Amino acid sequence: MTIRVGIIGVGNIGTAHALNLARFVAGSTVSVLYDVDQPRAVLLADELGARHVNTVAALIEADDVDAVLIASPDSMHAEHAMEAIAAGKPMLCEKPLAVGDANARAVVDAEVSHGSRLIQVGFMRRFDPGYVSLKAEMTPAGIGEALIVHNVHRNTAAPYGLRTEQTLTNMVTHEFDINRWLLGEDLTSVMVLPGKSGSLTPKGEQDPILVILQSESGVLVEIEAFCNARYGYEVQCRITGDRGQAVMGDGTWVTRSTDFIRGSQIPELWLGRFQDAYRLQLQAWVTALNTGSPLLGASAWDGLAAAVVSDRAIEAYRTGERVNIDLPLKPDLYR
Ligand SMILES: NC(=O)c1ccc[n+]([C@@H]2O[C@H](COP(=O)([O-])OP(=O)(O)OC[C@H]3O[C@@H](n4cnc5c(N)ncnc54)[C@H](O)[C@@H]3O)[C@@H](O)[C@H]2O)c1
């Protein structure tokens, strides 16, 4: 069977997902596109031999859409996910699941009422070969029990303008999710330390920031987030365990030596660093839909957990206090 995917929002990532689905993902095709910027949807639809529609509802309800990919701006995800749940259609919803934990809870409640899992959240790092290899080191024969995790997340330029609270909900949400996934447990407290800002940081905002969390068993998780790092896009993760250390490679495949200098390219965007992860995520999603096997990626519950951590991190940033993170009771659907 071929899964016919309808895509809501065809900007940077929506277009990348569309091209991946059309070119590299077995068992899928892109059938329908919608974007408020209609010419953008028309252009891509023409390139892919898809059609475009004029409303979100027309896309979700279309007979030739088996599954929905939500790649609209952060603030629209919850609304679009609720519409797809109401139509009973499976979806890959870009991160974050929602802005604000109340909105994320509403999506989880709607999925629980529906009675089966429809949502995979686009936390694609769970499919990145680097992170997968890192997690494989966390065994008794490997680095042993994790004690401290150091994360670095740097953008070349602030992707959607720079507001510190959005850095937490849009950018650092990747680390909130991937550290829960790596450690296999929830995060229980958060502090956000402001410091000296870079020259491109708007007045009143903070960049870089340091986020320090603790997990259920007490593991310390430190995250440096720097939106305007300028030199390139870079993600690092280093785990210190009780019998060793594992450091994730930087995604570099080729080292070039010319003119007495040895080095490698740094990607400008997340698309370069995580190209394999995006493709593998889509393939796993489409394969699960095609075979009826469980979705492997982040669930709506994981999306809610990340949204709760983001909200508490905003509180920690505003107050300067260490803030506890309490999740609601996990519904059976996600156990
Ligand atoms: N998983 C990742 O690593 C990753 C990477 C990039 C972006 N994202 C997420 O994907 C989403 C899109 O990011 P982007 O970089 O592609 O942004 P973008 O601004 O390039 O694209 C967003 C698109 O959505 C369209 N749009 C705006 N309002 C809409 C609406 N109501 N309905 C339908 N379309 C609408 C815009 O016209 C635009 O084409 C964001 O939520 C972002 O956080 C995730």
Q: What is the pLDDT along the chain (335 residues), one digit of tens a residue?
A: 899 999 999 999 999 999 999 999 999 999 999 999 999 999 999 999 999 999 999 999 999 999 999 999 999 999 999 999 999 999 999 999 999 999 999 999 999 999 999 999 999 999 999 999 999 999 999 999 999 999 999 999 998 888 999 999 999 999 999 999 999 999 999 999 989 999 999 999 999 999 999 999 999 999 999 999 999 999 999 999 999 999 998 777 788 999 999 999 899 999 999 999 999 999 999 999 999 999 999 999 999 999 999 999 999 999 999 999 999 999 999 99
- State the distance from the centre of ligand 1 to the C-alpha of 314, rounded, in angstroms: 22
Bridge partners of 187, per DSSP, are 215
What architecture (CATH level 2) is domain 128-273+306-324? Answer: 2-Layer Sandwich (3.30)
Taking alpha carbons only, the member of 52, 20, 16 closest to residue 35 is: 52
> Ligand 1: which of 8, 10, 12 to mutate, judged by most atoms within 8 Å of the beta carbon?
12
**pLDDT value for 54:** 98
What does R_g of the chain's alpha carbons equal in angstroms? Answer: 20
- State the distance from the centre of ligand 1 to the C-alpha of 263, rounded, in angstroms: 33
- State the distance from the centre of ligand 1 to the C-alpha of 138, rounded, in angstroms: 34
Which residues contact ligand 1 via a Cβ below 6 A?
Answer: 8-14, 34-37, 40, 56, 71-74, 76, 94-95, 122, 124, 170, 270
- State the distance from the centre of ligand 1 to the C-alpha of 8, rounded, in angstroms: 9
Question: Which atom of ligand 1 is nearest the CA belonging to 14?
Answer: 16
**pLDDT value for 129:** 95
**pLDDT value for 220:** 98
- State the distance from the centre of ligand 1 to the C-alpha of 323, rounded, in angstroms: 30
- State the distance from the centre of ligand 1 to the C-alpha of 257, rounded, in angstroms: 38
Question: Which atom of ligand 1 is nearest the CA belonging to 160?
Answer: 19
- State the distance from the centre of ligand 1 to the C-alpha of 110, rounded, in angstroms: 23
Residue 242 neighbours by CB under 8 Å, 6+ apart: 143, 144, 145, 147
> Ligand 1: which of 40, 60, 94 to mutate, judged by most atoms within 8 Å of the beta carbon?
94
Taking alpha carbons only, the member of 282, 248, 228 closest to residue 120 is: 282
Question: Which atom of ligand 1 is nearest the CA belonging to 170?
Answer: 43
Q: Where does the chain hold its CATH 3.30.360.10 domain(s)?
A: 128-273+306-324
CA distance 96 to 99: 7
Residue 200 neighbours by CB under 8 Å, 6+ apart: 158, 162, 207, 228, 230
**pLDDT value for 160:** 81
Are 297 and 123 in contact by the 8 Å Cβ rule? The answer is yes
Question: Which atom of ligand 1 is nearest the CA belonging to 159?
Answer: 15
Question: Which atom of ligand 1 is nearest the CA belonging to 74?
Answer: 41
Q: Where does the chain hold its CATH 3.40.50.720 domain(s)?
A: 3-125+276-297
Question: Which atom of ligand 1 is nearest the CA belonging to 72?
Answer: 24
Q: Look up the CATH superfamily of 3-125+276-297.
A: NAD(P)-binding Rossmann-like Domain (3.40.50.720)
- State the distance from the centre of ligand 1 to the C-alpha of 213, rounded, in angstroms: 28
- State the distance from the centre of ligand 1 to the C-alpha of 141, rounded, in angstroms: 42
Residue 257 neighbours by CB under 8 Å, 6+ apart: none
**pLDDT value for 259:** 94
How big is the CA angle at 75 (ends 73 and 76), to the nearest 5 degrees? 70
**pLDDT value for 250:** 76
Question: Which atom of ligand 1 is nearest the CA belonging to 10?
Answer: 39
